[in-house]
Amino acid sequence: MYRVLKRELIVPNIHLLVVESDIIHKNAQAGEFVVVRADEKGERIPLNLIDWDKESVSMLFMEVGTSTSKLAALKSGDAIATLAGPLGKPTEIVEGKKIVCLGGCYGIGALYPVIRMFKEKKNYVTTIIEGRSDYLLYWQDRLKKYSDEFYEITRDGSKGFTGHVNDFLVDHIKEKGADLVYVQGCTYLTYLASQTTRPLNVKTIVGLNPIMVDATGMCGVCRVIVGGETKFGCVDGPEFDGHQVDWDTLLARRRIYLGEERYSLSFYECERYG
């Protein structure tokens, strides 16, 4: 069992989870993830590594189903059954480039260790965060610390630029250029960004979140098609070239268990609240 040091609601449905660990920091790198289970019967959930030190690791998660609802109910001093990592391949290190980093939802927090690494490698970092409204944006000060330029986009116009990220991304790249676009967030955001940058011929790396079970490459549940080849999100990723991803297959696989997820959440809520 692994002791919870903090579980905090950051913005609606997005939680910070800090868990005691004196080992993971020794090998942790930007872009990697960990697997957690709330309890012995819980689902194994892959979560981006947000931060780490000699005493703990930090993760962000979005509360959407049974397993994440169990994580959202944790308090300081509670324990989780599983904490495994670091897993996956770290973000590729580049130096002296102009990099645009884009994040939405839980992906805003997932940007943090990556832009920190990019900045330490003397890249010029432009950070863009987006959400439906301003109350869904967070960690601006943390991200600005490692950003040369920083922008906010809200679809309702409550803060920063108004509209969808694709229009802003096109205008920004055409005006200022970019060697690399890096994206973290929901599958639709990573898809949209990849489709937007394809005609601009700008390399685009996306953090994918396919359904995952063992996270060691054995079960094959997290398989994605990249460049016409089958890859495993857990050991070959979780980051891939967005222009090479078969998005139709990935989006379809993400919907496979929606019925079971709804049933599980309904059963859990009935058990919890009566």
| 99 backbone dihedrals φ, ψ, rounded to 5° | -120, 130
**Same domain flag for 113 and 71:** no
**Same domain flag for 77 and 166:** no
Provide the pLDDT for residue 127. Answer: 98
Adjacent-strand bridge partners of 6: 18
Number of structural domains the chain divides into? 2
- Average pLDDT of the residues of the chain: 92
Provide the pLDDT for residue 266. Answer: 62
Whether 267 is covered by a domain: the verdict is no
Adjacent-strand bridge partners of 162: 154
Provide the pLDDT for residue 213. Answer: 80
- Write the CATH number for 135: 3.40.50.80
**Same domain flag for 20 and 145:** no
Whether 270 is covered by a domain: the verdict is no
Radius of gyration of the chain (CA): 18
Domain-terminating residue out of 37, 66, 87: 87
Please enumerate in sequence order all residues whose Cβ is within 8 A of that of 144, keeping only pairs 6 or more positions apart, or say none: 127, 150
**Same domain flag for 207 and 103:** yes
pTM to 2 decimal places: 0.93
Provide the pLDDT for residue 209. Answer: 86
**Same domain flag for 234 and 196:** yes
Q: For residue 24, what is the DSSP state?
A: G
**Same domain flag for 249 and 118:** yes
Domain housing 39: 2-87
**Same domain flag for 184 and 154:** yes
Report, as ranges of residue numbers, the positions in the chain whose pLDDT lies below 70. Answer: 255-274
- Write the CATH number for 47: 2.40.30.10
Adjacent-strand bridge partners of 16: 8, 60
Provide the pLDDT for residue 214. Answer: 80
Whether 273 is covered by a domain: the verdict is no
Provide the pLDDT for residue 65. Answer: 85
Provide the pLDDT for residue 221. Answer: 83
